[in-house]
Structure 1
Amino acid sequence: MSQRSRTALLLAFLVIVWGINWPLSKIALTYAPPLLFAGIRTVIAGIILILAALPKWKQLEFRRLWPVYLASAVLSIVFYYGFQTIGLQYVPSGLFSAIVFLQPVLLGIFAWIWLGESMYGLKIFGLLLGFAGVAALSIGGFTGSISAAGVLLALASALCWALGTVYTKRNAARVDMLWLTAMQIMIGGVILLGAGSVTESWAAITWSGAFIMNTLFIAVFVIALGWMVYFKLINEGEAGKVGSFTFLIPLMSIGSSVVLLHEQITLNLIAGMVLIVGSILLVNVNLGRKRRPKHSL
């Protein structure tokens, strides 16, 4: 299998599992409080990844690299999931998702500034077009009262995701990628679980078959394998281009929500699909630009 085919398969896997995560999480949240649910699924994923990384134990180097693990965990897991969980209480989920998926635009800009990746007018237009597509998909979320705090939390979630991705790629040469993924998820999960234990009640969890199956699926495929694939792609390719494909995730989310939650297909979905496909095509046009020297982060 060629490198291009393998990359395409990994991207398809990521879009599918991260897309279906939204309706599955919505279902699971009917059985458990948000922070405890986030902590449980993330800790399970962390345990799985640590077990997978054990044969490479010597490459952990925790005493030397713990600041990298901690910073990555705080940005990519604690803040990203934490701001997301809290912010959804203040604004409609559609609007919140549209703002969060500003992340690829921010990632493209940060990758240009700190990773030396190329940036030009067509690429900028493509990134903005993708965000417009996500906004079209989520137009229903713009109804009702809008909370400034909720909007700020959504922006913070997108910002932390983009910064966490850039931070991870900049430190990829210093750490083993499997251990970095495992430790950031485990540390982040423990922090989330601790926060949930303090602010929420374990007695509020209904340990039904649906909750257990959803939690395990999300822990294994969405978090453990999903983040591993995401950082592998980021490490091997241009962060901005890989990030642009995350615009497809809301499409998969809406499609799976139609099947699992019986939500309706609207004209917004069609408009969003057209804009998103255009975004990916524009961002991935090869104009032969050279990489600029990297700036310090």
Structure 2
Amino acid sequence: MTVSTSVSEHHDRRGAFLLLGAIVLLWGINWPIMKVGLSSIPPFWFGGLRLLLGSASLFLLLGARGQLALPARGDWPLIASVGLLQMAGFLALVNTGLLHVPAGRSAVLCYTTPLWVAPGAALLLGEKLSGRKLAGLALGLVGLLVLFQPGSFDWSDRPALLGNAYLLGGALLWSFTILHIRGRRWQGSALALAPWQLLVGAVPLLAVAALTEGGPAVIDWNPGSLLVLAYNGPVASAFCYWAAVVVTRRLPALTASLAFLTVPAMGLASSALALGERPDASLLGGFVLILIGLVLVETRRKQPA
């Protein structure tokens, strides 16, 4: 290895860690920002406009770099899967759930995705479910029970019940997309395909918004809502998606996946600071158990040399 190559790799890793920190911060603080935005923008309009602005930002970026091109035919099924399920479906469920559930709690529930990927991969893809992963799943499920406290949960509070169900449904939908694309080969780069995925997600969300929530006039167009959209489109969608692609390419998969698990912790902290949400013992205890479970699910025991 030459000195120049070594220096280049060092800078690549340092840059990737800087981007990783930015992702954790920007996605983490977006939970209270989304909560605030939903007071002015209906959930389907919010999701659709966020994806549309993110798509436009990446189209402009790729166009300026001379890299804008139509995806290959073989990539369209995966573009549809990511755009419709992971983006449109996920945001529709999350935004609707956020109307009735605190932002910090919502962040924790949405990042339970690896708990559902592990058994799904075992059932559908034939991946081995080790004792370590089983222990992680068990801890994660116990954490969810601690979080919900079934004995003291007000089961008659239909909006809260549905809100929590929507958030868990979003995590399950994200998990299904991961299972669908795992092991499949993409012909285009992740960055080149990202604006098309965002656009495919934006179109049905905006159509559903127009049919069920009314025209754009239902949005309270004010400086606050415009700032929320300006953050969620170019920053939380376009930039963070691109940054996540760079991070996963330059850092070991385990390092990146475990670091992303700190996003809900940032969501809890920022929601407490920005919205005055005070996490109770059940939320903190459940989060810790879920986090330990996710780490066990995401890590592999070192094989003897």
Q: TM-score range by the shorter chain?
A: 0.7 to 0.9
**Pick aligned residue for 1:267 from 257, 281, 284:** 281
Runs of at least 5 residues in structure 1 that lack an aligned partner in the other structure: 291-297
Residues 1:45 and 2:58 aligned together:
no
3-state SS in 1 of match to 2:68? helix
Partner of 1:145: 156
**Pick aligned residue for 2:169 from 147, 156, 160:** 156
Asked if the contact 1:92–1:142 (Cα under 8 Å) also holds between the matched residues in 2, the reply is no
1:70–1:31 distance in 2 versus 1, CA, 3 Å? same
1:115–1:52 distance in 2 versus 1, CA, 3 Å? farther
Partner of 1:204: 218
Query: What amino acid sits opposite 1:145 in the alignment?
Result: S
Residues 1:15 and 2:24 aligned together:
yes
1:117–1:132 distance in 2 versus 1, CA, 3 Å? same
1:212–1:128 distance in 2 versus 1, CA, 3 Å? farther
Asked if the contact 1:134–1:247 (Cα under 8 Å) also holds between the matched residues in 2, the reply is no
3-state SS in 1 of match to 2:67? helix
Written as runs of structure 1 = structure 2, the 5 A alignment for 1:208-287 is 208-233=222-247, 242-243=256-257, 245-268=259-282, 270-272=284-286, 274-275=288-289, 278-279=292-293, 281-283=295-297, 285-287=299-301
1:280–1:162 distance in 2 versus 1, CA, 3 Å? closer
Asked if the contact 1:127–1:244 (Cα under 8 Å) also holds between the matched residues in 2, the reply is no
**Pick aligned residue for 1:125 from 116, 131, 135:** 135
1:75–1:139 distance in 2 versus 1, CA, 3 Å? same
Query: What amino acid sits opposite 1:103 in the alignment?
Result: T
3-state SS in 1 of match to 2:302? coil
Residues 1:66 and 2:76 aligned together:
yes
Query: What amino acid sits opposite 1:164 in the alignment?
Result: T
Query: What amino acid sits opposite 1:264 in the alignment?
Result: R
Partner of 1:82: 92
Q: How big is the shift at 1:284?
A: 5.5
Q: How big is the shift at 1:133?
A: 4.7
Structure 1 length-normalised TM:
0.77
Asked if the contact 2:107–2:267 (Cα under 8 Å) also holds between the matched residues in 1, the reply is no
Computed over aligned residues only, the root mean square deviation of the Cα atoms, in angstroms, reads 3.7
1:224–1:73 distance in 2 versus 1, CA, 3 Å? same
**Pick aligned residue for 2:110 from 76, 96, 100:** 100
Asked if the contact 1:98–1:135 (Cα under 8 Å) also holds between the matched residues in 2, the reply is no
3-state SS in 2 of match to 1:57? coil
% identical aligned pairs: 26
Query: What amino acid sits opposite 1:176 in the alignment?
Result: S
Asked if the contact 1:95–1:142 (Cα under 8 Å) also holds between the matched residues in 2, the reply is no
Q: How big is the shift at 1:23?
A: 0.7
Superimposed CA distance per residue, residues 241-265 of structure 1 (whole angstroms, 9 cap, x where no aligned partner): 7555544332211211111112224
Q: How big is the shift at 1:16?
A: 2.1
